[in-house]
């Protein structure tokens, strides 16, 4: 049975390689092939993560506790943290990971929601850490080509900055002009610093600011009075028009994000979690 699966897996890869006319498939030819049969334990990272978060939670988790934050960031650095993203169905057949169908995309659409342990997204690539794979301890996938993170556009001093964040995660603060704070919706609410270059760091964060961030978001959503600037809308349209993923990011909204270093708010454009049909 294993031999038949092994043969089928490589036959799939051979078939994909035999169509050079497709840019997506041609690009996938250059990416590392991971053999599921070489996995020692496909759930090793997940079990280690669950054990760590359960241990911290039982120890009265506090996002301001340096010991808790250091443990989470050390895990992020060595093994990644579980985040979600859009992935093409083609890539998902080659790179084994947890997958869901989207509730808001037609079955015919070529994207799924994937989840993997990722440590950062530097140089336009997501670093996936998979120490349970014998042949390779980590591998990278190009952002916005094989896997898609949500683009966040922020207008600062009449210029547009673009960050790429995990699917469905909204920025809550700007720490300075070059970094955002996300509150990852995981087993624990994890404060994650994301800078413009794609470096990630789990950082300590006061509980009262977490609650304030949630309140501000709910207030803006309820009021729906934040209008997007033409500069943001034009930059966003130009960006998604260059991709083949308009349906993923067809809808968007704007919100104000407070910068802690500059003591003022900036306008941000955020894609909606789903495109309405």
Torsion of CA 210, 216, 218, 224, to 10 degrees: -160
CB neighbourhood size of 69 (10 A): 21
Over range 191-203, report the average pLDDT.
Answer: 94
CA gap 60, 50 in Å, rounded:
16
- Global confidence as pTM: 0.77
Question: Concatenated DSSP letters for 64-125?
Answer: T-HHHHHHHHHHHHHH-EEEEEEEEHHHHHHS--EEE--TTS-TTSSEEEEEEEEEE-GGGE
Mean per-residue pLDDT, 163-187: 88
Average pLDDT (51-77) is 93
157: region left, alpha or beta (phi > 0 left; psi from -120 to 50 alpha): left
Average pLDDT of the chain to the nearest whole number = 75
Rg, Å, the chain Cα set: 20
Residue 76: the pLDDT is 94
What are the φ/ψ torsions at residue 52 (nearest 5 degrees)?
A: -65, -50
Task: Determine the pLDDT at residue 24.
Answer: 38
pLDDT in tens, 159-172: 999 999 998 888 88
Which pLDDT belongs to residue 250?
Answer: 75
CA separation for the pair 82, 245 (Å, rounded): 23
What pLDDT was estimated at residue 144? 82
pLDDT at 17 over 70: no
Confidence of residue 129 (pLDDT cuts 50, 70, 90): confident
Question: What pLDDT, in 10s, does the model give residues 216-240?
Answer: 665 655 455 789 999 999 999 888 7
């Amino acid at each position: 049975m294993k031999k038949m699966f092994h043969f089928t897996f490589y036959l799939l890869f051979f078939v994909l390689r035999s169509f050079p006319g497709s840019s997506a498939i041609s690009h996938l030819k250059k990416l590392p092939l991971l053999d599921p049969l070489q996995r020692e334990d496909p759930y090793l990272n997940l079990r280690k993560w669950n054990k760590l978060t359960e241990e911290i939670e039982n120890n009265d988790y506090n996002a301001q506790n340096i010991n808790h934050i250091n443990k989470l960031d050390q895990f992020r650095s060595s093994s990644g943290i579980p985040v979600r993203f859009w992935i093409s169905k083609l890539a998902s057949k080659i790179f084994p990971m947890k997958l869901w169908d989207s509730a808001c995309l037609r079955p015919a659409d070529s994207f799924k929601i994937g989840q993997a342990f990722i440590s950062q997204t530097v140089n336009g690539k997501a670093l996936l850490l998979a120490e349970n794979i014998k042949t390779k301890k980590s591998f990278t996938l190009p952002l916005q080509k094989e896997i898609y993170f949500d683009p966040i556009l922020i207008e600062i001093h009449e210029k547009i900055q673009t960050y790429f964040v995990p699917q469905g995660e909204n920025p809550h603060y700007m720490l300075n002009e070059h970094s955002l704070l996300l509150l990852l919706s995981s087993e624990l609410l994890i404060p994650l610093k994301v800078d413009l270059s794609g470096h990630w760091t789990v950082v300590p964060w006061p509980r009262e600011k977490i609650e304030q961030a949630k309140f501000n978001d709910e207030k803006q959503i309820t009021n729906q009075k934040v209008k997007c600037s033409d500069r943001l809308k034009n930059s966003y349209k130009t960006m998604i028009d260059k991709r083949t993923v308009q349906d993923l990011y067809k809808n968007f909204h704007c919100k104000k994000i407070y910068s802690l270093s500059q003591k003022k708010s900036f306008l941000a454009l955020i894609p909606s979690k789903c495109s309405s049909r």
